[in-house]
Amino acid sequence: MKLNENIRYSPEVAEAILNDRPVIALESTIISHGMPYPQNVETARRCEETARSFGAVPATCAIIGGRLCAGLTGEQLEHLGRSGLAVTKASRRDMGVIAARGGDGALTVAGTMIAAKLAGIRVFATGGIGGVHRGAAETMDISADLDELGRTSVAVVCAGAKSILDIGLTLEYLETKGVPVIGYGTDEMPAFYTRSSGFGVDYRMDTPEEIARAINEKARLGIEGGTLIVNPVPEKYSMDKDRIDAVIDAAVKKANALGVKGKKITPFLLAEIKDVTGGESLETNIALVLNNVELAAKIACAL
């Protein structure tokens, strides 16, 4: 495969793609907007190390100095982590403007899917996808991640939809967009912090090889669009569902009272949940991301 001249590849990622070696994309919003410093940078580095340990080359994706990057240096990871919320959270609508201005952008799930597709990367590991927000019937707040999954042919490994969302409506929206939801070793949609949500998946698959075959067949048939692989948080780190649901409900009410909306809502809720749970939610967040990176690497190797 040829390299895309519009992408700035790290030497490691470029060599892997040119030689058809397994590569997985990693997002950068989790670094700047998903966790506090220094845990964000430490987690980003652990994700890269985990990918390599399971046979895949990590390509953390971001916009740096106006250039779309697949694979970041240690200094760039540190910059994103230290800068935090000062780095623009970049989805499809933002990427061209940030590039034109020569700015930096932390890529969302949707943004990373676009970068991965352009770079020639087929698998992407993240924490949890965005989705239909609670109260969306009035606010119309629906994450661009869902439309991107319907249009961009990248397989996304996650721990389900973030439990701050309306998971039932998120699954309905994914069905409308023609996105298959595959449960890895589970019949139930995980809810990020917990292994269960009360909602089922479309298909259960128990091995990375089976998932890889489904991805390959979809591509062979010429069917565009992503595949969503949901991977429950390890049992050891799964939080009590009733407890975390109560915390999330309180955080949503606080956000509504303060008028927090749009791009600010998810970072606000995650920070609120972390504070209320005494950091337990952050520990769960880190564990599930690493778990997803491991599965994504195995799928990339099977592909």
Which residues participate in catalysis according to the annotation? 27, 162
User: What residue has token string 């239909």?
Assistant: 132
Q: From CA 260, how far away is CA 23, in angstroms rounded?
A: 37
Q: From CA 86, how far away is CA 29, in angstroms rounded?
A: 11
From 232, 157, 132, select the one nearest 189 (Cα to Cα): 232
Mapped onto helix, strand or coil, the DSSP state of residue 62 is strand
If one counts every other C-beta atom within 10 angstroms of the C-beta of residue 204, the result is: 14
Q: From CA 9, how far away is CA 16, in angstroms rounded?
A: 10
Q: From CA 207, how far away is CA 19, in angstroms rounded?
A: 25
Q: Tell me if 79 sits within 8 A of 95, measured CB to CB.
A: no
Q: Rg of the chain over CA atoms, in angstroms? A: 18
Q: How far is CA 159 from the centre of its chain?
A: 9
Cis amide bond preceding 38, omega within 30: yes
Structure tokens at 195: 């292994």
Calculate the alpha carbon distances from 266 to 130, 235, 250 in Å: 9, 24, 14
The 8-class DSSP code of residue 34 comes to I
From 153, 301, 141, 168, select the one nearest 227 (Cα to Cα): 153
Mapped onto helix, strand or coil, the DSSP state of residue 67 is strand
